[in-house]
Amino acid sequence: MQDVTDLAFMRTLARIGSLPDLFVTAYFRSTPTTCAIAEANLRCIQENETGVPILAQLVGSESAPLMRDAERLLQLPVAGINLNAGCPSPLVNRHGAGAELLRNLTALQDCLQGLRRVVPEGMFSVKCRTGWADAAEFPAILSEISAASPDMVMVHGRTRKALYTANSVNTEPVRMAVKHLNCPVLGNGDICTVAQAHEWMRTTTPAGVMIGRGAVRNPYIFRCLRGGAPPSADEMRFYFHVLIEETNRILHTKRTPAGHCNRMKKYLAFCYEDFTPEQEHTLRRCTNISDMQRILSEASAPLT
Ligand SMILES: Cc1cc2nc3c(=O)[nH]c(=O)nc-3n(C[C@H](O)[C@H](O)[C@H](O)COP(=O)(O)O)c2cc1C
């Protein structure tokens, strides 16, 4: 997740002993003139000492730049290339990329086929939503994806129109992808607890699940999914403590007290529910990292 599941977060997961099987970078924007090789994303690849493989994600609307940038990223220690066909950002969609590909199947086909040609066997994956406005669009999207023979597909069970609205995840298209594709399919959308992950596995039968915001709120979810104990309040306090240290490390010389707090607020945006309204109010306005540290040291155990 752009600006959230960054190198500091990856290092934090390693230090608290709760790692997923696979990471995916936030997207690199691929355009005819440039590949915006965002430094923060690049660091996730080059300085990944977690032992967990990482996929480099590209967002774009034309095969030639995507192929050029995939070849460049494949020179780095990545486990594969992932095409983003789900980003709902108006800025990205205006350029024909992300979820916009879901309503321009000719462009989707061009991007998929182009990347398939340059990405080696076993290393090409696609992340998509279930449609632009309606999940009824999904069978046609699935057929384009299937024709490119990707090695893995991640499906976020929402349309572009649904953005991130509550209770809008539809697992039916994901089940359809599991049934029709000849590759592993990961289910994604609103998985915040072990019970929800198990429910996805039982009812939708994907090869696995992809967890975004839920892992920022409860980073111990990966440990729990491997049969480990739910986090105690002390462990949550340790998480925030490590995250403060790791953000300090990545910000390095560019750090100012307010800048460090702002960086922390990118993660805290997904954690406020577990704080009292007064704590949330103070955290949102914090410009001093020691004030933030004091409130975070009062954190309680999250919902598991
Ligand atoms: C702040 C933010 C940034 C995101 N950035 C990306 C991204 O760069 N690439 C991507 O594939 N998905 C991105 N997503 C979408 C998530 O990966 C995920 O598909 C979505 O949040 C639903 O899953 P979740 O409920 O587990 O978070 C982002 C989501 C958020 C909230």
pLDDT tens by residue, 180-213: 999 999 999 999 999 999 999 999 999 999 999 9
Whether residue 298 contacts residue 279, with contact meaning beta carbons closer than 8 Å, is answered with yes
CA 252–ligand 1 middle distance (angstroms): 26
Q: Both 137 and 242 in a single domain?
A: no
Q: What CATH number should be reported for the domain holding residue 143?
A: 3.20.20.70
Residues with Cβ within 6 A of ligand 1? 1-2, 4, 26-27, 57, 84, 86-87, 127, 156, 188-191, 211-214
Q: Are 119 and 195 part of one and the same domain?
A: yes
Nearest CA to ligand 1 atom 6: 1
Ligand 1, atom 14: nearest CA belongs to which residue? Answer: 1
Say how far apart CA 105 and CA 132 lie, in whole Å: 11
Q: Has residue 253 got a pLDDT over 80? A: no
What percent of the residues of the chain are helix, what percent strand, and what percent coil, each to the nearest 5?
Answer: 50, 15, 40
Q: Does residue 266 lie in a domain region? A: yes
Residue at 6 is within a domain: no
Cβ atoms of 92 and 59 within 8 Å: the answer is: yes
Residues 179 and 245 in one domain: no
Name the percent of the chain lying above pLDDT 90: 92
- Domain extent, residue 256, equals 233-296
- Nearest Cα residue to 164 out of 262, 58, 59, 86: 86
What distance in angstroms lies between residue 1's CA and the mean position of ligand 1's atoms? 5
pLDDT of residue 245: 96
Within-domain flag for 7? no
What separation in Å is there between the alpha carbon of 43 and the centre of ligand 1? 19
> What type of residue sits at position 131?
G
Determine the Cα–Cα distance for residues 290 and 300; give it in Å rounded to an integer: 18
| Mean pLDDT, the chain, whole residue set | 95
